[in-house]
Structure 1
Amino acid sequence: MKRLLPLVLPLALAACSAPPQGEQPAQATTPPMVSTATAIDAKTLAANHWKLAEAHDAQGRALDALLVRADAPVQLDFADGRVSVSNTCNRMGGGYAVEGNQLKFGRFASTMMACVDPNLAALDQEVGKRFEGALTAETPDAATLKLTTATGDVLVFKGEPTAEMRYGGPGEKAFLEVAAETKPCSHPLIPDKQCLQVRELQYDDKGLKVGAPGEFQNFYADIEGYKHEPGVRNVLRVKRFKIANPPADAPNQAYVLDMVVESETVKK
């Protein structure tokens, strides 16, 4: 009997582990992959200014022709079913639509300025040919937009929140005329401060100036996106936002440049 024990024990174990008659043994399963990417939608796209941070082809080679302005990279802005492209030689834009994980672009229109820098002049064509038809889109996180063209080119954009997101509302549009020269102005925290000289203008629905503008006044706030050049008078279209609970001695409104409407060099 002692010689039979090694045989009986395996048989007993097999009998205990065998599945009931007619039942199939369970199969090992692989847990499903969970994507952490944020869904593409118009609201996500409109929440940021998207600046090109990286561009390479399907083989991983850098697309230097798209990265010619390190200080002002190609930028995409999405709003109301349209996308605008800036920091190229010309401003470009057209319609777009979100379909699943794809961004579908219509034919772009463009201004017709000439650029002296040949690399900048070629940038419009390099951008335009990559925004034709459908691009695969994904957002690995809320501040990254990755677009892949049909030929495998990969464009990675980093998002910067728009003024509407930062100030919690759409703001209001206003037109400001900025005089050619600044003037000294008193400021408790900034000795020898120079203030822009600004007055507000009014336009009707047809774009015609109405009313008589007032006198130029010291403008203590900053205009985000605007860099004043001495000797140049500008008319700016800005977005004006209310600032909730501003610090003491700080303005309760913020101004963000929308576009330069007029620009004129003033001779002294």
Structure 2
Amino acid sequence: MRISWIWALPLLAIQGLTACATSDTGAAATAAAPATLTAYHWQLREVRNAQGQLQPGWTLPPAPSADTAGQTRAVQLSFAQGRVSVGRLCNVLGASYQLNGQALSIGPVMGTMMACPDSAAMALEQQVGQRLPQASRWAIAQAGRAAAPVLTLSFQDGGQWLLDGVPTDATRYGSAGERIFLEVAPQRAACSHPLIPNYQCLQVRSIEYNDQGLKTRVGPWENFYGDIQGYTHQPGVRNVLRIQRYKKPVTPADASSYAYVLDMTVESEIVR
């Protein structure tokens, strides 16, 4: 069962900024920063209080999954189209945000409460939802051209978050990609792969929808030789997936020229 919820914390007023002289170089860097903010996902590395002391309890131990073995689960923020979303926990949280130079205001955090057996993740979600609307300033620093950028969020009480930048799919592939829908059959099927003997392909067919969300076209079943990033196939389960498809800038001769990234699961059905 899904339950809508909201932390209706009042948005604290942003403190007035002290006027200071800015060099031409600094102004150029500030002007470019909003594009950098939306070009990366930001993974929380450090939380410090007003005295600069590290604050524990803002990350989670690795999930019991082979895909994430040994990886600490960190809060991830993504900024796009005036919305900030929080991921990598249990639910996906979101809020509106506004920039005014280096000043930042974030509205009340909302999300859906889905059943989650991980009580620590649920507790951390509440911490994040209560803290984000108290953000007041932001800044991005990059040590060198090859180094990942670091986002610093400053809060009304003087505390700070440091977050490491990870390129979004659109940044990695150099385009916004194309949204498509694929239905994945419950079972794989044997197919001829030039490099892998006895390969089992996913069986997929394309689906098109009109503006009202009604199916207008269903394509034929086809072998799918590659992988869909973020998707793990379970035998006996039929899925309809919403996918972002990106043209790869460089493609080996024996590989697909596209990268497929799962956006969301639209339908899921156990087929007996």
TM range, normalised to the smaller chain?
A: 0.7 to 0.9
What is the alpha-carbon distance in structure 2 between the residues aligned to residue 146 and residue 175 of structure 1?
37
Q: 1:108, CA displacement in angstroms?
A: 1.7
Q: 1:97, CA displacement in angstroms?
A: 1.2
8 A Cα contact 2:42 2:166, kept in partner: yes
Select 2:253's aligned residue among 248, 259, 264: 248
Aligned to 1:119: 120
Question: 1:53 and 2:58 equivalent?
Answer: no
Q: 1:44, CA displacement in angstroms?
A: 0.9
What is the alpha-carbon distance in structure 1 between the residues aligned to residue 60 and residue 249 of structure 2?
39
Select 2:242's aligned residue among 212, 237, 255: 237
Select 2:224's aligned residue among 205, 219, 228: 219
Select 1:186's aligned residue among 192, 196, 206: 192
Q: Secondary structure at the match of 2:172?
A: helix
8 A Cα contact 2:191 2:199, kept in partner: yes
1:159-188 residue CA offsets vs partner (Å, 9 max, x unmatched):
111121122111110011112222222211
Structure 1 residues 217 and 99 mapped into 2: Cα distance closer, same or farther (>3 Å)?
A: same
Q: Secondary structure at the match of 1:43?
A: helix
Aligned to 2:104: 103
What is the alpha-carbon distance in structure 1 between the residues aligned to residue 110 and residue 119 of structure 2?
21
1:114-151 residue CA offsets vs partner (Å, 9 max, x unmatched):
32221111122100111114332122215211112222
1:181-233 residue CA offsets vs partner (Å, 9 max, x unmatched):
2222221122232221111111111112223x233221012212222223322
Specify the code of the residue in structure 2 equivalent to 1:199. Answer: R
Structure 1 residues 185 and 38 mapped into 2: Cα distance closer, same or farther (>3 Å)?
A: farther
Q: Secondary structure at the match of 1:155?
A: strand
Question: 1:199 and 2:225 equivalent?
Answer: no
Q: Secondary structure at the match of 1:131?
A: helix
Q: 1:38, CA displacement in angstroms?
A: 5.1
Specify the code of the residue in structure 2 equivalent to 1:76. Answer: L
Question: Alpha carbon RMSD of aligned pairs, Å?
Answer: 2.4
Higher relative contact order (CA 8 A, sep 6+): 2
Aligned to 1:150: 156
Structure number with greater Rg is 1
**Segments ≥4 residues shifted beyond 6 Å:** none
Q: Secondary structure at the match of 2:256?
A: coil
Q: 1:110, CA displacement in angstroms?
A: 0.8
8 A Cα contact 2:228 2:261, kept in partner: yes
Specify the code of the residue in structure 2 equivalent to 1:91. Answer: V
Structure 1 residues 38 and 190 mapped into 2: Cα distance closer, same or farther (>3 Å)?
A: farther
Unaligned runs of 5+ in 1: 1-31
Question: 1:68 and 2:60 equivalent?
Answer: yes
Unaligned runs of 5+ in 2: 1-22, 63-70, 143-147
Q: Give runs of aligned pairs for residues 129-140 of structure 1, distance below 5 A.
A: 129-140=130-141
Select 1:258's aligned residue among 260, 263, 266: 263
Specify the code of the residue in structure 2 equivalent to 1:170. Answer: A
Q: Secondary structure at the match of 1:230?
A: coil
What is the alpha-carbon distance in structure 1 between the residues aligned to residue 251 and residue 128 of structure 2?
41
8 A Cα contact 2:204 2:223, kept in partner: yes
Structure 1 residues 185 and 63 mapped into 2: Cα distance closer, same or farther (>3 Å)?
A: farther
8 A Cα contact 1:38 1:138, kept in partner: no
Q: 1:245, CA displacement in angstroms?
A: 4.5
Aligned to 1:210: 216
With the length of structure 2 as denominator, give the TM-score of the two structures.
0.77
